[in-house]
Amino acid sequence: MFLIMGIIWLSMKIVSGSSSLMLSTRLSEVTGFQMVHREIKRFPDGECYVRIHENLDNQEVILIQNTHPDWNIIEYLLLVDAIRQYNVKRLITVVPYFGYGRQDKRFNEGEPISAKIMAEHLSENVDKIITINLHNSEIIKWFKTEAIEIKAEIELAKYFEKFKPDLIISPDKGSIERAKFISGILGIPFHSFQKRRIDSERVEIETGDIDVKNKTVAIVDDVISTGGTIATAAALLKSKGASKVIVGCVHGLFVGNALQKMQMNVDILFSTDTVENEKSLVTVSHLISEYLK
């Protein structure tokens, strides 16, 4: 057991999937848990190979691995099996970004409910799952094992605070509660835009009546994917005279040329380390550690 500043953690071992090395290392630093020596590589035909180079008998083990893009799902499943060959006391998986969360219903006849299928399969042979900001919190009910969703807004709020924004914007109705929560912490007003998606990359946004002249404006979203939403919202804010646009999101997927698309009108961009990239400036490791005590 570790006793750090009066907080007790059981001793656990961390297995990092290749998607989550930064977060695993940060969690190891916060908790003092050791990282397990593991090997992950690809065969020439692209198939994944994993191996645990440490005996994990009688250990409590945490596996940290995303399920996006698809190849990370395979790696997750293989790592669970590799860990399970040992007589582990408990296996907790942390899925920092739960891929397929946006396909959370049958939008059209003939479609799968992808989020449900994913939740069910990720639950197999796992004692507990911890995930961060599901696209829809209702997804939690589809896991077949104990599952917890952690909300990262508090960490985003702390980071936004550095830039002293005058107001915070939700780019669509999906982030209203998030923006409201952060506005409460920072003591600033919030406003929501109305968004209509044209296609997977383009959106139309109605700003409503809003005065942002010479103001520092923050925008918060759960996911940034193609960057279409943020690029459009930021351009509108700048055209209305905003002096600075600060954008923070939980999951920064930044697919394709998302970063270039946003850079013209976004002054500062950050995400958490649920998805790892150059913008992962905020860590969720402290939040996760709270659930491991």
Instruction: Give the nearer residue to ligand R5P in terms of CB position, either 165 or 252.
Output: 252
Measure the CA–CA gap between 190 and 167, rounded to whole angstroms.
Answer: 6
102-139 b/e with 16+ CB inside 10 Å = b?
Answer: ebbeeeeeeeebbbbebbeebbeebebbbbbbbbeeeb
Measure the CA–CA gap between 59 and 202, rounded to whole angstroms.
Answer: 48
Instruction: Give the nearer residue to ligand R5P in terms of CB position, either 25 or 114.
Output: 114
71-110 residues in contact with ligand R5P (CB under 6 A) are: none
Contact pattern from residue 215 through residue 254 relative to ligand R5P, giving x for each residue in contact according to CB under 6 A and a dash for the rest: ------xxxxxxxxx-------------------------
Contact between 250 and 276 under an 8 Å Cβ cutoff? The reply is no
State the Cα torsion 194-197-198-203 to the nearest 10°. 60
Q: CB of 263: closest distance to ligand R5P in angstroms?
A: 14
Q: CB of 38: closest distance to ligand R5P in angstroms?
A: 32
Q: CB of 174: closest distance to ligand R5P in angstroms?
A: 4
Contact with ligand R5P (CB under 6 A) among 40, 142, 154, 174: 174
Measure the CA–CA gap between 84 and 33, rounded to whole angstroms.
Answer: 19
Active site residue 195: yes
Choice among 116, 128, 151, 195 that is catalytic? 195
**Residues forming the site for ligand R5P (CB under 6 A):** 171-172, 174-175, 203, 221-229
Catalytic center residues: 195
